[in-house]
Structure 1
Amino acid sequence: MSAYQQGRKIRQPGIVRASSMAADFEVPVVIVGAGACGLMTAIALRESGIDCVVLERDASPSGSTALSSGFIPAAGTAVQKAEGIDDSVALFAADILAKTRGTAAAHLVLAYASAIGPALDLLQQVHGIRFEVLDGFLYPGHSVRRMHAVHERTGLALMAQLERAAGNSGATLLTESLVRELWLDANDQVLGVGYERPNGTIERVACRYIVLACNGFGGNREMVAQLLPEMRDATFAGHAGNDGSAITWGQQLGARLADLGGYQGHGSWAVPQGALISWALMMDGGVQINARGERFHDESHGYSEASVQVLAQPGGIAWNVFDQATLDLARTFPDFGDAESAGALKSCPDMASLAALIGCETSVLEKTLDDIAPGIINAHGRSFMRSLQAPYFAVKVTGALFHTQGGLDVDGNCRVLRTDGSAFSNLLAAGGAARGVSGNAVWGYLSGNGLLSAVAGGAIAAATIIKSLEESA
């Protein structure tokens, strides 16, 4: 357990200005954070023989990735091509922009959509991380099947494989190393970082480049209350490391911040089990029903905006309702199996027992389910391929905040931008630390945008550093 997790009082993140730095050691690149973004950066740097150290606050790498389903959207990968899936960077970018109604940062949309395919191919072909394209359904907003997952279909398994690949490539990973200081000279040139060890001492490492791959601000209640007021009382289902350090550093540096109103919520967080229920159930024909026995939104629009819809219902809860055919699909996801084992799944042989479980009038529920039938476009604008058949299954859920999508503004090379639009030459940011491609509101989140930004951003940050080092050689 890290010092931070033990609750010991620690110094706040800060900027140190100096002309030089007395360091314990030196390395070309320091990467702050060993989530998917930091590990991808390290893997890509080591492909070019560049030494780097990844500083991770926890005793073992996890971050938001380990808490996710681990699904990464990508276009034009070798896996897609092998399955005959016709996709392209242009189509993927168009889907991202369409979900945000054109409000996402266009330069990042193109950069990430272009970089993610080669990044996954590198991980598979060079580092043995085998990906599968999810089949049987489309996540909201995606035109084709492009969601890639490791065989286990969990974020935890993805993290384990990324950590293995980074270690095998020769990257140095220091855990229980909580970065609190960024050192720069008067001209904004990076000098290094200071990080806190479990015994309270500060160690310092000098470097030529820093990549902030650390966090968003979902775990910082004050920032959430200020920037995302609709989620101030929501369950935070993300990683505690999302404390807003990158934003604090950015403010102290005079860096530009962007899209701070963007975030990934999720309208399917099982209570009281505290488990993620895959939105694939909704896309397969399941529905969300409130305590009155009524549907209240179009579930096919996406799980992120559903978080706000669910929280607005009586008691801030809803029931995911589906039938045997969807249950069979659900059981292919290990996370669902864990939730079922924990008692989240309820079985109801008929309409009356389902109404009793929800606590609503049977007649109201019957009318609600009658509208779920082929050829009917109901009041919420959703059409269905089939009706729900007894027996019914249900999971009680609430809306949760998973991670934020706003942060340090970056250019297409993941270099941090100042408020005047100029770029820091050797300070980079990606993943949760940086602005994402979800626009400035919850409804702009396209399924997988978090891992898209993390993995593609990490690959781009590494490429930027590699090019810079080659030019300066």
Structure 2
Amino acid sequence: MADGPTRRIRRAPSIDADAQVPVAIVGGGACGLTAALMLADAGVECVVLERDAVPSGSTALSSGFIPAPGTRVQRAHGVTGDSPERFAADIQAKAHGRASPVRVEAYSKAVGPALDALQARHGLDWILLDGFLYPGHSVHRMHALPQKTGAALMARLQSAAEAAGVPVLTQAVVDTLVVNAEDRVIGIEYQRPDGQRETLGCEVLLLACNGFGGNASMVRELLPEMAEATFGGHVGNDGSAILWGETLGARLRDLGGYQGHGSWVTPQGALMSWAVIMEGGVQINREGRRFHDEAQGYSEAAVHVLAQPGGIAWNVFDAPLLELARGFPDFCDAEAAGALRRCETLTDLAGCIGCDEAVLARTLSALREKQPQSDGRVFSRGLEAPYFAVKVTGALFHTQGGLDTDDDMRVLNADGKPFANLLAAGGAAGGVSGDAVWGYLSGNGLLSAVAGGYIAARTAVALVTSREQMK
């Protein structure tokens, strides 16, 4: 494995800790805070350790959308026919059957109850995004807070944690796991901004510290096609969980899986919603041509866009789709930053893109035929002037591979047996996208975070209870 930050395993029979807690959680993103809230509900004390001054992680940089079947909100919207089984089938269809069956089943069953619990007990008022279907989803099941941003989701989770009395220790960079001879984690060591080192003892450890997208050397080794791509994720995704796992002899899974995005606005550095593309927008390269079936998904679109001249494409759409786009705060931010180009005529659009007008005319004319394009995509209508265009590139958002776990989020060793008290969830664990970019179903990242955190909390409660009964 490629070099990474210093992440140590220290062997010791006991630990002289500054404090002791039943459950320690490394990472204060959606996964760690969901787990902490569920632990608070169960009356089990925990501490969340977060490297940043304010918890954010990949969640804050996302759109904050979480897919879930069978929720109260979904039923209130009259969505019928969905179920964990149907959701699991959609996940595996997108991953071509290469996603972990254990985690697919576990997450698809847990995420609905997790969202309902966060709503009922912690005031997260979900809405259902039912105006369009995200790629790969057979029904409307994408949930969000009314603000429709990951930053809003993180803010709400933080306020819920504060209200529940969950200790969140910020600016605490965990660099060492203390493990005894039986491979039981007995504590962690972390560093404060002033260089002071502190130790925390624990009965259960949950790694919720995301993946390795911010570790350039690991990306070059494991995801070479994204080695030069813009990283749109959180720099703290440095591969810590994988590095600790390797040293412990843990089993790893699906390290080739990741979420890319083919709609990273450049040079402004913002995300443009893929809803515009799914509802009839197109991606055009500098030659004036479409170059892939955009409806397959925004993750694999990253690779297709990066393969174009200059690694650049243009999202092209018209007035009705602009109205849809303006319903998403991320797009509004990009527009405010000057990303949107208005083109009154085809000639203007060709000049904006820098392509041959005749080639572009043929490309857009084909959309009106309502017949399958050469790549299989069918358009219900063509685009009409005035046209709108946004310059985009492909970006890496977060990785989907990590520590292999069983269905209760316990980390597995090389023989497939669980460690006694080491859990991993969210981006620290192998996900449900298989081992390639095209396996990513919209929302898989936050699905893993919220469902994984929910399950890990349940497991931690059982482990802590069992230890107390043995005393």
Sort the TM-score into its range (normalised by shorter chain).
over 0.9
Structure 2 equivalent of residue 4 of structure 1 = none
Superposed displacement of residue 374, structure 1 = 5.2
Hey, what's the Cα distance between the residues in 2 that align with 1:167 and 1:106? 35
Structure 1 equivalent of residue 318 of structure 2 = 323
Structure 1 equivalent of residue 229 of structure 2 = 234
What are the superposed Cα offsets for residues 292-311 of structure 1, whole Å, 9 maximum, x if unpaired? 00000000000000000000
Structure 2 equivalent of residue 392 of structure 1 = 387
3-state SS of 2:395 partner: strand
3-state SS of 1:16 partner: strand
Structure 1 equivalent of residue 147 of structure 2 = 152
The one-letter code matched in structure 2 to 1:287 is V
Hey, what's the Cα distance between the residues in 1 that align with 2:369 and 2:34? 44
Alignment of 1:41-440 (within 5 A): 41-86=35-80, 87-373=82-368, 375-440=370-435
Residue 15 (str. 1) matches residue 9 (str. 2): yes
Superposed displacement of residue 169, structure 1 = 1.3
The one-letter code matched in structure 1 to 2:34 is M
What are the superposed Cα offsets for residues 181-219 of structure 1, whole Å, 9 maximum, x if unpaired? 101101001101001000111100000000000020001
The one-letter code matched in structure 2 to 1:306 is A
Structure 2 equivalent of residue 462 of structure 1 = 457
3-state SS of 1:26 partner: strand
Contact 2:367 2:383 in 1 (8 A): yes
1:38 to 18, 32, 35: 32
3-state SS of 1:211 partner: strand
The one-letter code matched in structure 1 to 2:61 is L
Contact 2:257 2:435 in 1 (8 A): yes
Percent identical: 62
3-state SS of 1:372 partner: helix
3-state SS of 1:260 partner: coil
Decide which moves more: 435-444 or 169-178. Answer: 169-178
Hey, what's the Cα distance between the residues in 1 that align with 2:389 and 2:336? 14
Contact 2:22 2:464 in 1 (8 A): no
The one-letter code matched in structure 2 to 1:177 is A
Superposed displacement of residue 11, structure 1 = 7.2
Hey, what's the Cα distance between the residues in 2 that align with 1:274 and 1:375? 34
Hey, what's the Cα distance between the residues in 1 that align with 2:373 and 2:447? 34
Superposed displacement of residue 375, structure 1 = 2.3
Hey, what's the Cα distance between the residues in 2 that align with 1:373 and 1:31? 53
Hey, what's the Cα distance between the residues in 2 that align with 1:110 and 1:135? 24
Hey, what's the Cα distance between the residues in 2 that align with 1:88 and 1:374? 36
Hey, what's the Cα distance between the residues in 1 that align with 2:460 and 2:46? 11
Hey, what's the Cα distance between the residues in 2 that align with 1:300 and 1:375? 15
What are the superposed Cα offsets for residues 429-454 of structure 1, whole Å, 9 maximum, x if unpaired? 00111100000000000000000000
Q: Which runs of 5+ in 2 are unaligned?
A: none
3-state SS of 2:368 partner: coil
What are the superposed Cα offsets for residues 359-407 of structure 1, whole Å, 9 maximum, x if unpaired? 0111000000011125221111100111101000000000000000000
Superposed displacement of residue 470, structure 1 = 2.9
The one-letter code matched in structure 1 to 2:19 is F
3-state SS of 1:424 partner: strand
State the Cα RMSD in Å: 0.9
Hey, what's the Cα distance between the residues in 1 that align with 2:162 and 2:387? 47
Output the TM-score relative to the length of structure 2: 0.98
Hey, what's the Cα distance between the residues in 2 that align with 1:467 and 1:176? 29
Hey, what's the Cα distance between the residues in 1 that align with 2:10 and 2:466? 28
Hey, what's the Cα distance between the residues in 2 that align with 1:59 and 1:139? 34
Q: Which runs of 5+ in 1 are unaligned?
A: 1-9
Contact 2:212 2:238 in 1 (8 A): yes
Contact 2:203 2:464 in 1 (8 A): no
Contact 2:204 2:463 in 1 (8 A): no
The one-letter code matched in structure 2 to 1:110 is E
Hey, what's the Cα distance between the residues in 2 that align with 1:330 and 1:276? 11
3-state SS of 2:388 partner: strand
What are the superposed Cα offsets for residues 8-66 of structure 1, whole Å, 9 maximum, x if unpaired? xx971110100001110001000000000000010000101000000000000000000
Superposed displacement of residue 76, structure 1 = 0.3
3-state SS of 2:24 partner: strand
Hey, what's the Cα distance between the residues in 2 that align with 1:32 and 1:43? 14
Contact 2:92 2:99 in 1 (8 A): yes
3-state SS of 2:321 partner: helix
Hey, what's the Cα distance between the residues in 1 that align with 2:458 and 2:232? 32
The one-letter code matched in structure 2 to 1:468 is L
Give the number of equivalent residue pairs: 464
> Cα–Cα, structure 1 residues 366 and 11, in superposed 2: closer, same or farther, change >3 Å?
closer
